[in-house]
Structure 1
Amino acid sequence: MSETPKDLNSLNRAAELLHHRGQGLSKGDPIALPITTSSMFHLPGDPTGTPGYGRVDNPTWEALEDALAILEDAPCVALPSGMAAISAALFATLGTGKRLLVPSDGYYVTRVMSSEFLAAFGVEVTERSTAQFAEGGFQDFDVVFIESPSNPGLDLCDLRAISAEVRAAGGISIVDNTTLTPFGQRPLDLGADVVVASDTKAPGGHSDLLMGHVATRNPEILARIKNWRKMSGAIPSPHAAWALYRGLETLELRFTRMCDTADMIAPVLAAHPAVQSTRFPGLPTDPAHNLSATQMARFGFLIGIDLGSEERAERFINQSRYLRPATSFGGVHSSAERRSRWGDDVPAGYVRLSVGCEPPEALLQDLSDSLDLLDP
């Protein structure tokens, strides 16, 4: 996509992230972020304003949250996984008698947690598909949880319009931005109240950590989420926080490579006779293309292809040299999985492909070779 002022702002955020900590260093301080693992701190006298206990304070978390805040342009709270971030946002904004709307085709764990746990505490849970999410309006919903693009189907909904309608109805909008990161989409700038994300994916980038975060410009919600983390004990490990901080330093580079490669290979996959259908917002033929061009800075690195059957899908994945058959996504290694095996409402032959950082030509050749081995 052509460079715009918004793209320049993203590049400036990437540069600021790399040098933000360095601006405050003293002579002899390490440039690399240290890992602080202490559960106790030296605490004589009045403890106010001083780190006191490892469940509440940690310098490595704080440095990570500063870095995340640069990317989100909003205060952030680090959590030990993406689901911990989602849980914190929902438990901080809901209670008995409240109404919650969630996507029926979004990440299935969000639905399970809502229906099995939040509902047990007296929260009324309603589901709608992403493509029809705005149908029926948002009156009387206290919290509206949005996922766009949806995972794994890659449907979209209008974040700006929905966030405005939710706010006008007196509700709170929460957007899961895991699939795109702040470099691909900025829900807070589009009017959302809260953003949650699994930093296990592209922000960490190396498939070696579990982390998540919540971002919000609402001080009351921010305070509730911080208190939830402190009281629930849902805290990240210092080592994971350090590893994510290091991953963030190369996120802009990796995300650009992954999206550029996805832009290149998606049309080739869509045109291959072994592929029955393709979902990728960057394709002009995709039903979400027009909307994606208005609210996304990049089309992302996830591609959905339907190969017609479970057997063909598994064969495509397993005979591809440069695809790792694994769940999750966003790593430097391209990966793929047949999502119906987890119960997602997608065809049996639907494969969610996560494009990694391999040389684009090598990856495209490998995927094409694997498709060529399937019967048309």
Structure 2
Amino acid sequence: MSDRDDELAAKLVHLRGEGLEKGDPLALPLTLTSMYHLPGDPAPGVPGYGRAENPTWEALEAALSLIEDAPALAFPSGMAAISAALFAVVKAGDRIVIPTDGYYTTRLLADRFLAKLGVTVVTRPTLDMARGGFEGVALVFLETPSNPGLDVCDLAGLCEAVRAAGGVSIVDNTTMTPFGQRPLELGADVVVASDTKAPGGHSDVLMGHVASRDAAFMEEVAAWRKLAGGIPGPFEAWMLHRSLETLPLRFERMCDSAEVIAARLAEHPAVRNLRYPGLADDPAHLMAKAQMTRFGFLIGLELESADAAERFINGCGLLAAATSFGGVHSSAERRARWGDDVAEGFVRLSVGTEPVEALWAALDAALRG
């Protein structure tokens, strides 16, 4: 990690301890309540109702704000965060651009619901997001590296072009976390992420967040959460807060291992069309090197057929056969089963925190069958 990331990681571990009074618990307390003691008229800064305020959320949001270097709001899933960001901006008659090769649920949300509200939804591949320009576009949604193909687009250039055209840029940074890529510093207006993935890290919690330095936008997002009711549970917020403190360690280990394994997979006779931005000959490498601080823990590999992919996944003792990614357990899935525009034998491999040599031995054995 960079010196700045090291500094953030240190502050993250000690953030809870700042301002504690003698005798206060060092660990974050879990506040489970729907009501607060509220005699008389409401007062500014005094909690009133569980749909609007919770101290556990606030502690989590302070940690998320620290690592994003921007105000952040927590949500009960990544899609809840994406929905809030979209509905805070988009209105009837607007035109928005969404990637064809990003997370498919974002496209489904736009096609099934935003389109019915009079929003024109335009889709473009990640590598061609600028084609056609952004004049008359209210919002551009970006995801880089793309999921699952791992194409990388020029965030700084695209965000500048969107802003010049009068639009808002939203970047899904789920695959990288703030310790691998910082979209707000590259010019993005808004960052969204599924914290279900690496920030949670243990495959036991659904959470997400929105971050932005635009105060008016964040007020709209907060209003959407309060009025629509898409609020995080306090226990889930507590779990994510606990996991965040080890995110820098886990992310660094996962990225280190992915770099080793990707290089070996590139030479493996069973593997075709390997994608990993950290490889010097990957089409995304130069752009990734310019805008990412790490190359991530996701690897795309193509095997000869769907059957070969399933045999590999199910035959590896150190792979969880599951959707999602970013956990301490390495996992893999054949993405064509969800309708992604990839080869039938394409596998998205998420490298976990297992010792790298043990993981490689298991992967190699499964590939050789």
- What TM-score does the superposition give when structure 2 sets the normalisation length? 0.99
CA offset digits 1:145-189 (Å, max 9, x no partner): 000000001011000000000000000000000000000000000
Cα deviations by residue, 1:79-134 (Å, 9 ceiling, x for unpaired) = 00000000000000001001110000000000000011000001100000001112
1:151 aligns with 2:160: no
Measured in 1, the distance between the counterparts of 2:134 and 2:5 equals: 32
Match of 1:39 among 27, 30, 34: 34
The alignment status of 1:196 with 2:192, answered yes or no, reads yes
1:47 Cα offset (Å): 1.3
Map Cα deviations across residues 218-256 of structure 1 (whole Å, 9 max, x no partner): 011000000000000000000000000001000000000
Residue number among 86, 92, 110 corresponding to 1:90 in the alignment: 86
Amino acid at match of 1:356: G
Cα distance, 1:18 vs structure 2: 1.1
Q: What is the CA–CA distance in structure 2 between the aligned matches of 1:356 and 1:234, rounded to whole Å?
A: 30
Corresponding residue for residue 8 of structure 2:
13
Shift of 1:10: 1.1
Query: Could you give the per-residue CA deviations for residues 57-94 of structure 1, whole angstroms, max 9, x where no partner exists?
Result: 00000000000000000000100000000000000000
What is the Cα deviation at residue 24 of structure 1?
Answer: 1.0
- AA in 2 matched with 1:201: K
Indicate whether 1:286 and 2:253 are aligned.
no
**Structure 2 SS opposite 1:243:** helix
Relative to structure 2, which stretch is displaced further, 59-68 or 134-143? 134-143
CA distance in 2, matches of 1:308, 1:194: 39
| Residue 24 (structure 1) aligned with residue 10 (structure 2) | no
Aligned to 1:268: 264
Report the Cα distance in structure 2 between the residues aligned to 1:307 and 1:225, rounded to whole angstroms. 42
AA in 2 matched with 1:259:
C
**Distance across 1 between alignment mates of 2:131 and 2:304:** 31
Count matched residues: 368
Contact 2:198 2:327 in 1 (8 A): yes
1:352 aligns with 2:336: no
Q: Distance in 1 between matches of 2:347 and 2:235?
A: 33
Tell me by how many angstroms 1:46 deviates.
Answer: 2.8
Alignment of 1:96-245 (within 5 A): 96-245=92-241
Would you say 1:64 and 2:60 are equivalent positions?
Answer: yes
- Aligned partner of residue 351 in structure 1, secondary structure: strand
3-state SS of the aligned residue for 1:175? strand
Take 1:286 and 1:130, find their aligned partners in 2: how far apart are those partners? 16
Q: Distance in 2 between matches of 1:24 and 1:42?
A: 24
Q: Distance in 2 between matches of 1:60 and 1:159?
A: 33
Paired residue secondary structure (1:21): coil
Task: Tell me which moved more, 44-53 or 22-31.
Answer: 44-53
Q: Which runs of 4+ in 1 moved over 4 A?
A: none
Q: Secondary structure at the match of 1:131?
A: helix
Once residues 368 and 309 of structure 2 are traced to their aligned partners in structure 1, the CA distance between those partners, rounded to angstroms, is 13
State whether residues 16 and 27 of structure 2, in contact with CA within 8 Å, keep that contact through their aligned partners in structure 1.
no
Q: Give the alignment's Cα RMSD to 1 decimal.
A: 0.7
Instruction: Please report how far the alpha carbon of residue 48 of structure 1 lies from its aligned counterpart in structure 2 after TM superposition.
Output: 2.2
Q: Quick one: distance in 1 between partners of 2:19 and 2:330?
A: 37
- SS in structure 1 opposite 2:73? strand
Partner in structure 2 of residue 78 of structure 1 = 74
Amino acid at match of 1:9: R
Q: Matched residues, percent identical?
A: 62
Q: Is the 8 A contact 2:95 2:120 kept in 1?
A: yes
Alpha-carbon distance in 2 for matches of 1:236, 1:23: 24
Which runs of 5 or more residues in structure 2 are unaligned?
none
Residue ranges of structure 1 left out of the alignment (5+ in a row): none
Q: Secondary structure at the match of 2:281?
A: coil
Give the one of 315, 326, 338 matched to 1:342.
Answer: 338
Q: Once the two structures are superposed, what CA deviation does each residue of 1:172-214 show, in whole Å capped at 9, x if it has no partner?
A: 0000000000000000000000000000000000000000000
How far 1:19 moved relative to its partner? 0.9
* Other structure's SS at 2:16 match: helix
- 2:52 counterpart letter in structure 1: V
